Amino acid sequence: MAFVLRALANGSDGVFIGGCWLGECHYVTEGNYDALSMMHLTRKVLELIGVNPGRLRLEWISGSEGMRYAEVMNDFGRQLKGFGPIGEGEGLDRTALKLKFLAVKKILPYLKLVERERLRVRFKTEEEYDNYFGSDEVNSLIRELVGEKLAISQITTLLATSPLSTREISDSLRIKPAEVSRHLNSAARQGLVRYDESQKRYAIA
């Protein structure tokens, strides 16, 4: 996940990952199963920060499938052109995009823990992974375990630049004011932010 996010944060419009077909790797490894699971989680995280999850693509291509590789890459290139440059295609300026990726970077160890402890599964087919990560249960779990943590990370990263009001935070991060207030209350209870009465703004604690 760290490598994918670093590439996107540095301005890459997309990231392609290629691997052996499931169950057909020449080596005794389950790396492609782990990659599939992590790809789904990374796409969920991209969606949470307002970045098109389609900018990350995973395909299975064997060493003998040169034509398929060329077709997949050409298709992905056309897809990325349709999305537009990263950030611009999502309506985010470079500053906002950089802040969002920095916020994700800060909680990467936590995301890896969530993946290992709560989301790691082992299925035989890609369809089973798609169904699992597309289920209401997993989406609810990600909103609960990752959504708030990520929102608070974005808020504290933003407040590190200067004290801001709820409305200013909402406008900068494109998060609804009511949600910003809820996350600020949670962050205050954790001792991460404080309300500055003199400025009528929130600041880093």
Position 64 scores a pLDDT of: 86
Same domain, 15 and 75: yes
Query: Where among 99, 117, 147 does a domain terminate?
Result: 147
Q: Does any domain span residue 26?
A: yes
Same domain, 129 and 175: no
Position 25 scores a pLDDT of: 76
Same domain, 93 and 187: no
Greatest Cα pair distance, the chain, in angstroms, is 67
Q: Does any domain span residue 153?
A: no
Same domain, 61 and 140: yes
List the structure tokens of 20: 């052996």
Q: How many domains does the chain have?
A: 2
Same domain, 134 and 181: no
Same domain, 12 and 65: yes
Closest CA to 109 of 64, 149, 49: 149
Question: Radius of gyration (Cα) for the chain, nearest Å?
Answer: 19
Position 28 scores a pLDDT of: 67
Which H or E run includes 174? none
* Domain ranges, residue 54: 2-147
Which H or E run includes 56? strand 56-60
pLDDT digit string (tens) for the chain, length 205 residues: 999 999 999 999 999 999 888 887 777 677 888 889 999 999 999 999 999 999 999 999 988 889 999 999 999 999 999 999 999 999 998 999 999 999 999 999 999 999 999 998 889 899 999 999 999 999 999 999 999 999 999 999 999 999 999 999 999 998 899 999 999 999 999 999 999 999 999 999 9
List the structure tokens of 22: 């499931």
Q: Does any domain span residue 15?
A: yes
Contact in structure between 136 and 31 (CB atoms under 8 Å): no
- Would you say the pTM of this structure is higher than 0.75? yes
Q: Helix H segments across the chain?
A: 2-9, 31-48, 66-83, 94-106, 108-114, 126-133, 136-142, 148-159, 166-173, 177-189
Residues near 202 by Cβ (< 8 Å), separated by ≥ 6?
Answer: 159, 163, 164, 165, 166, 169, 184, 193, 194, 195, 196
Same domain, 19 and 110: yes
Closest CA to 63 of 30, 26, 15: 26
